[in-house]
Amino acid sequence: MFMFGKDPRVIAFVYLSMVHDQTGDLAAAERAADAGVAAAESVHHPFSLAWSLIARAFFQTWVGEHEQCLVTADRIIALAGEQGFPNWVGQGLVYRGWALAHAGRKDEALGSLRQGIELWKMTGSELVTPMFHALHAGAALHLGELDEAEQAVAAGLAQADRTGEHWMDAENLRLLGLVCSQRGDAPRAAQALDRAATDAEARGLATNALRIAHTRLLLARAEERDARREEVRQKLGQVHAERALPFLETVRSSIDEGAS
């Protein structure tokens, strides 16, 4: 196997995990990510190992495991730096920035995200860039940087239109809805969330659909909350996990809060 080649079994686990992340079987997503790491370690192939760790990091961002994601990101950066894999260093920096944002380390977080995306682009890579912009936008939103969040969302959607890689459109549109809501533009927020929901349903993205329904509940007016709460319950029933995950626990708390 060449140094920069990839082990087919490892990469199958990587993509299987990412499909399950989106389509709602989070238990299967975690198993596939862990199986990919184990397979890469068993063949002693650093390039494949870095790739498998990226699947683990994506899972951790998707379910809100901030501290675990930071550990994974640091491992990716160390491995990729040691082996001379600049593309994986770039991805590791993106995940590290996202995790740092949720630790409240604002300047370090945004700097890592910007640097990681720039490094990824410098290698000539374009694949999964809309996802990086979504992670950037979500981190910036968490840190109260609305301008940066909106610019990241716009970049993600523009990249998807240019390359045809639309699998993160629902998430970028959800984040656009949050940006518009925080700017006080309720009609534009509702439009973005409607577009996000339509996209997620059309693509069978159950986890995205739950994220969008949860966002709608958080933004709902008092008279809408019971209906939105029921919508979240329905979407939650379409997502499977075998252990408590931070994102799902947050969703359940939102359902219970103020339930009539």
pLDDT, one tens digit for every residue, the chain (260 residues): 445 567 899 999 999 999 999 999 999 999 999 999 999 999 999 999 999 999 999 999 999 999 999 999 999 999 999 999 999 999 999 999 999 999 999 999 999 999 999 999 998 888 899 999 999 999 999 999 999 999 999 999 999 999 999 999 999 999 999 999 999 999 999 999 999 999 999 999 999 999 999 999 999 999 999 999 999 999 999 999 999 999 999 999 999 986 65
Q: What is the pTM of this model?
A: 0.95
Report which of 259, 258, 254 is spatially closest to residue 235, judged by C-alpha positions: 254
Q: Let me know if domain 8-111 sits in CATH 3.40.50.300.
A: no
- CATH number, domain 126-260: 1.25.40
**Which residues in the chain are classed under CATH 1.25.40.10?**
8-111
